[in-house]
Amino acid sequence: MKLIRHPDKSQWSEFLTRPAFETVELTSTVNAILSDVKADGDAALRRYTATFDGCELDGFRINKEEITAAGEKVPDELKAAIRTAGGNIGKVHAAQAEPIKVIETSKGVTCWRKSVPIECVGLYVPGGTAPLFSTVLMLAIPAKLAGCREIILCSPPDQNGRMNETMLYAAELCGVTQIFKLGGAQAIAAMSYGTETVPKVHKIFGPGNQYVTCAKQLVFQTGTAIDLLAGPSEVAILADESSVPAFVAADLLSQAEHGRDSQVLLVSTSENVIEKTTAELEKQITRLPRSEIALAALENSKAILVDRVDTGIEIINEYAPEHLILGVDKADEVAERITNAGSVFIGNYSCESAGDYASGTNHTLPTAGFAKSFSGVSLDSFVKKITFQKLSASGFRELAPTIEIMAAAEGLEAHRRAVAIRLEEIDGI
């Protein structure tokens, strides 16, 4: 980690800026994949799966027997853990449901909004070095709670044309309706346009590499909604003299092992804690199977020494981290002052792993500073909120002059006349 001591505010942007996305260069490659899948459907999917995943598949859809067989291979202990985590995730997301509140804005004029499930949703879960079944929970549980009719899951097959068994178990448990062995930009294309076997969805969720992210960006432009544009994962930790360096180091490493491009930031009022954390990092990293990845990520990371917790809070709000761990004294009070973050972990026992898996909050969160304007995935992400209004004849009568005056002032005479013609009827003219 690079130590930066008491930086002047004018320098903040220098070390808080993330490496730029390079989606532009990918655009033509990804566009070609999208066009191909749009035109050729399943045949194009077969070609890309052979090229990118190294396996020849006749069909992509996983059948009931395969799912049942996979479930039998998942150890009972892991199944129980998944159910416990799923239960917590369910509780948090169920509490996000919005009851209908009917508001009478003026006498006889009532307005309300209603959450209605997005009918078909597509969940993408990357394959690769780690089988992220936890992401299946984070996306499928709120989708099911929201009431989405069709919940599709796409995840790439391995070279033997198979999908991770725990992933299949989690998908079945959480109510995924169809599972496809499809990865990369071709999976996003399949869900966006639909093919002979893959249904077209209205919104696509989930993380992915730069090809997947670029594909989501492109299909968004042609009408498929997306959850977020996910960049490399990030954590910021605010530490003071009360922090436990061994915990801080372990948390930094748990972020750093995600990928070489992971962003890790330590902000501390204590140089002592920074030094001890650095020593702990060196000690702990040697024991990690993914130490090479973690090491690469740490090389780009920064420890920032600040004079006061206030300055630390200000830096963190400017950075807007995906994950924020407050391992400081009076962490609750500090949490109140956080204005830009995806998810906040309060106190020494709230490690990021807890939220990644099992506390109940969603782990699909805004990265790259998007936390300044985006929320993480929640129940809201799987519904749209339709507004309704109903005017009684007398409510309409009362409000009519207001509408007429405004419509006339905007020069929209037909808008005014839609009111006037009703007034004529009510007043019997």
Query: Binding to a copy of itself (CB under 8 A): which residues in 161-180?
Result: 166
Distances (CA, A) of 236 to 201, 323, 414: 35, 6, 55
8-state DSSP, 177: -
Nearer to a copy of itself, 51 or 105 (CB): 105
Least separation, in Å, of the C-beta of 79 and a copy of itself? 10
Q: Over 198-240, what HEC string results?
A: CCCCCEEECCCCHHHHHHHHHHHHCCCEECCCCCCCEEEEEEC
Nearer to a copy of itself, 267 or 281 (CB): 281
Q: Whole-angstrom Cα distance, residue 383 to residue 402? A: 33
Binding span for a copy of itself by CB under 8 A among 47-55, 62-70, 179-187, 223-231: 223-231
Total residues at the site for a copy of itself (CB under 8 A)?
A: 130
Least separation, in Å, of the C-beta of 215 and a copy of itself? 13
296 part of the interface to a copy of itself, by CB under 8 A: no
Least separation, in Å, of the C-beta of 283 and a copy of itself? 11
Q: Is 161 helix (H, G, I), strand (E, B) or coil?
A: coil
Q: Which of 165, 172, 234, 322 is catalytic?
A: 322
193 part of the interface to a copy of itself, by CB under 8 A: no
428 part of the interface to a copy of itself, by CB under 8 A: no
Question: Six-digit token pair at 87?
Answer: 């239960």
Angle at which helices 210-221 and 23-40 pack, to 10 degrees? 70
> Is the Cβ–Cβ distance between 247 and 327 less than 8 Å?
yes
Nearer to a copy of itself, 160 or 373 (CB): 373
Question: Six-digit token pair at 310?
Answer: 């206030």
Query: Binding to a copy of itself (CB under 8 A): which residues in 52-111?
Result: 77-78, 80-82, 84-85, 87-88, 91-92, 95-96, 98, 101, 103, 105-106, 109, 111
243 part of the interface to a copy of itself, by CB under 8 A: no
322 is catalytic: yes
Q: Whole-angstrom Cα distance, residue 324 to residue 281? A: 18
241 is catalytic: no
411 part of the interface to a copy of itself, by CB under 8 A: yes
Q: Is 103 helix (H, G, I), strand (E, B) or coil?
A: strand
Tell me which of 4, 57, 246, 296 binds a copy of itself, using CB under 8 A: 246
> Phi then psi for 293, rounded to 5 degrees?
-60, -50
Q: Which residue carries 């990265």 as its tokens?
A: 367
Tell me which of 48, 133, 193, 211 binds a copy of itself, using CB under 8 A: 133
Binding span for a copy of itself by CB under 8 A among 32-40, 177-185, 186-194, 287-295: 287-295
239 part of the interface to a copy of itself, by CB under 8 A: no
Spell out a b/e string for 239-253, using b for 16 or more CB atoms within 10 Å of the CB, else e: bbeebbbebbbbbbb
Question: Six-digit token pair at 110?
Answer: 């009532």
216 part of the interface to a copy of itself, by CB under 8 A: no
**CA end-to-end distance (rounded Å), the chain:** 80
CA 316 to chain centre: 20
Query: Binding to a copy of itself (CB under 8 A): which residues in 319-358?
Result: 331-332, 335, 338-358
372 part of the interface to a copy of itself, by CB under 8 A: yes
8-state DSSP, 58: S
Nearer to a copy of itself, 197 or 375 (CB): 375
> Is the Cβ–Cβ distance between 371 and 342 less than 8 Å?
yes
316 part of the interface to a copy of itself, by CB under 8 A: no
Q: Which of 234, 323, 352, 363 is catalytic?
A: 323
Q: Where in the sequence numbering do the catalytic residues fall?
A: 322-323
